[in-house]
A = this chain, B = another copy of it.
Amino acid sequence: MSSIKKRMELLRERMKAEQIDYYLIPTADYHNSEYVSDYFKVREFLSGFTGSNGSLVISQKEAGLWTDGRYFIQAEKELEGSGIILFRMLEEGVPTIQEYLEKQMREGQTLGFDGRVVNSAYGKKLEQALKTKNIKFCYKKDLADSLWMDRPAIPAHPVMILPENICGQSVKEKLAQVRETMEQENCQAHIVSKLDDLMWLFNIRGGDVECNPVALSYGFFTMTECYLFLQKEAVSEELRKYAEEYGITLMDYNEIENFLQEFPYMDYQSRNTGNEQKIHILFDDKNVNYSLYRILQEKAELVNKENPTEKLKAKKNPVELAQMQEIYLKDSAAVTKFIYWLKKNIGKMEITEYSAAMYLDNLRKEMEGFLDLSFPTISGYKENAAMMHYEATAKDHKELKPEGMLLVDSGGQYVGGTTDVTRTIVLGEISQEVKEHFTAVAVGMLNLSNAHFLYGCTGRNLDILAREPLWNKGIDYKCGTGHGIGYILNVHEGPQNIRWRYSEDAKEAVLEEGMILSDEPGVYIEGSHGIRTENVIVVRKGEKNGDGQFMHFDTLTYVPIDLDAIDTAYMQPKDIERLNVYHKAVYEKISPLLEEEEREWLAEVTRPVS
């Protein structure tokens, strides 16, 4: 712990030298990515907290870390002894960072942050909140850089081109769709900074973020020109030719700020409309960083809208959907094989949380088209499973015994798609309470995946279907029920999701045909057990009649739900029927992909219950 304290002390010295009173370190790269490469893990370096979401605020007298419900248990553990206060986001009475700064900062003080790792929406919000106190912003320096001696390099993996028959749509068509929106919004230019949007738009993939096949990049578009900013090291000769073919001008990633400073905006504007008004730039202020925003807002009129790519990408096209269906069957078979292996060998050989995860990871790695895991496999035994994003390591893990349950949340990146699945596996005796919780989770998961709803619904309308069986017992899980899932892209993708809470920041997206979502209710009892059952579902159109367009979900995931933890006493007949229907489909779809003895076992564990 003393290394953390020392780092904080060094940072405080730097702050003094720069006359910065409060310094903010969110967890982000220059693109507001959810997961970031090690280079960007400044908050982890300084605080010791390893969760994927967290922001650190430091002053001379205090340091606080803000994180969300998924990480409360973990953060408490990791921050112990550091002197850093844990702020549990969304809990009653806990201030947001903005509220904290508003209260703590004194007239005329200076707030520092690296403007490249703060998105412009948040930067503007801070400006607004702190302007009555005349707070100065110092946003051009990354103070941590000079004190982080062995900081990893910025990654720059080669960029790969995906063939059109895998993407289902050409770059040309996609660019035309984007320009259509630019025209509708009366914008002459458009900047895209969101990495997965850029990958989708250009039919390329990278490897600059662990498990997320994205390349650090920016895109800048006019109605005729198209600039793609990539790191030099990422660009192959093949990519150069590809870019030329599609009229894409390749630029150096590190030149984005200079480019935006020097772009001839006025020329462009008058050339296009014949008047001297400022050029209009379509711009998503949630995803463009504050440093770029400060440049652009002087040069142009910014039209703040969600990137058109975001929704286009979310509605998977028929080629993408067919690929996803196929890859989910293969991925489900791998997970099913894993469960079989685990159940057969538990108590007979040494298996740990970590070695179990390795075994599953290897099953995926052997699959055709495997690129990467879609996130580090979560393998949590007994009470470890109560930490939603627990990660067992080679050094630090529990040994599995023939008792309790193992929660495994995992997925792969394949040429055919991105998978995500969670099963909680019974290894031996479990309590009646655990069975009750497990059954309620399964019922909730099936309630949602069997929903029928009118077009126009968003995840906020549907979330309660998964959550109600738990709310009826006075239990909640402190996270959304589902997230969007990318296609050979980020395992978390917007704009769609299944959540109940209203959030000013998170726009609600109507559930559109072809959107893919996870459906993953859970129970997390600190110090006791954690249960999550996650299927992935796709939005489909159903009947259209005088009452409107009805929608429903198809399921992509086919992995048995452990009947050893199901007690039908907690189910209604419709719940039992849904489980049996699901298990019948699991057997039909997965058994052809298994060995004989696995198949026999699968028949048994997907038997109808009553």
A residues neighboring B (CB under 8 Å): 92, 451-454, 456-458, 460-465, 468, 471-472, 474-476, 478, 500-502, 508, 542-543, 545, 547-550, 572-574
- Some 29 contacts from A to B, beta carbons below 8 A apart, are A92-B548, A451-B468, A452-B471, A452-B472, A453-B471, A454-B471, A454-B476, A456-B500, A456-B501, A457-B500, A458-B502, A460-B460, A460-B461, A461-B463, A461-B464, A461-B500, A462-B464, A465-B468, A471-B550, A474-B542, A474-B543, A474-B545, A474-B550, A475-B547, A476-B548, A502-B508, A572-B572, A572-B574, A573-B573
Let me know if A547 and B474 touch, CB within 8 A: yes
With A461-B461, A461-B463, A462-B464 known, 15 other A-B pairs at CB within 8 A are A452-B474, A454-B476, A456-B500, A456-B501, A457-B464, A458-B502, A460-B461, A461-B500, A464-B464, A464-B465, A465-B468, A474-B542, A502-B508, A572-B572, A572-B573
Report Cα–Cα, A502/B456, bound state, in Å.
Answer: 8
Q: Which B residues lie within 8 Å of A542 (CB)? A: 474
- Chain B residues with Cβ under 8 A from A452's Cβ? 468, 471-472, 474
Identity of the chain B residue whose Cβ is nearest the Cβ of A461 in the assembled complex: B500
| Set of chain B residues within 8 Å of A465, measured between Cβ atoms | 464, 468
Residue of B nearest to A464 (CB): B461
Min CB–CB distance A581 → chain B (angstroms): 15
CB distance from A188 to the nearest CB of B (A): 18
CA distance A408 to B502 in the complex (A): 36
Q: Nearest residue in B to A501 (C-beta to C-beta)?
A: B456
Number of copies: 2
Least CB distance from A531 to B in Å reads 15
- How far, in whole Å, are A463 and B478 apart by their CA atoms in the complex? 22
Bound complex: CA A210 to CA B462 (Å): 38
State the majority secondary structure of interface residues on A: mixed
Q: Could you tell me the distance in whole angstroms from the C-beta of A373 to the nearest C-beta in chain B? A: 31
Closest chain B CB from A478 CB (angstroms): 7
CB A184 to nearest CB in B, in angstroms, measures 15
Q: Which residue of B lies closest to A453 (CB)?
A: B471
CB of A443, distance to nearest CB on chain B (Å): 11
A457: chain B residues within 8 A (beta carbon): 464, 500
What B residues does A478 contact at CB under 8 A? 547
Cα A550 to Cα B502 in complex, Å, equals 17
Residues of B within 8 A of A476 (CB): 454, 547-548
Residues of B within 8 A of A543 (CB): 474
Cα distance A550–B473 when bound, in Å? 10
List the B side residues contacting A573 at CB < 8 Å: 572-573
Q: How far is the CB of A91 from chain B (nearest CB, A)?
A: 9
**Complex contacts, A454 vs chain B, CB 8 Å:** 471, 476, 500
Shortest Cβ distance from residue A379 to the other chain B in the assembled complex, whole angstroms: 25
Complex-state Cα separation, A458 to B458, whole angstroms: 14
Scoring A453, A472, A474, A572 by chain B CB atoms within 10 A of each residue's CB, the highest score goes to A474
Closest to A547 in B: B476
How distant is the Cα of A165 from the Cα of B547 in the complex, in angstroms? Answer: 47
Give the residues in chain B near A502, CB-CB below 8 Å: 456, 458, 508
CB distance from A199 to the nearest CB of B (A): 30
Contact partners of A475 in chain B: CB under 8 A: 547
**CA of A547 to CA of B508, assembled, Å:** 24
Distance to closest chain B CB from A15 (angstroms):
33
Residue of B nearest to A551 (CB): B471
Complex Cα spacing A332 to B468, Å: 30
A502 to B549, CA, bound (A): 16
Which of A460, A508, A542, A573 is most buried by chain B, counting CB atoms within 10 A of its CB? A460
Task: Determine the distance from Cα of A461 to Cα of B457 in the docked complex, in whole angstroms.
Answer: 11
Bound Cα distance A465, B467 (Å)? 12
Q: How far is B92's CA from A547's CA once the two chains are assembled, in angstroms?
A: 11
Chain B residue at smallest Cβ distance from A456: B501
Q: For the complex, what is the distance from the CA of A458 to the CA of B464, rounded to whole Å?
A: 11
Compute how far the CA of A502 lies from the CA of B92 in the bound complex, rounded to whole angstroms. Answer: 26
A451 vs B547: C-alpha distance when bound (angstroms): 26
Closest B residue to A550 using CB positions: B474
Name the 5 nearest CB pairs between A and B, nearest first: A476-B547, A572-B572, A452-B471, A474-B543, A461-B500
Q: Provide the bound-state CA to CA distance between A452 and B508, in Å.
A: 23
A396–B99 CA distance with the chains assembled, in angstroms: 62
CB distance from A404 to the nearest CB of B (A): 22
Interface centre among A92, A475, A476, A478 (most CB of B within 10 A): A476
A19 → chain B, closest Cβ, in Å? 32
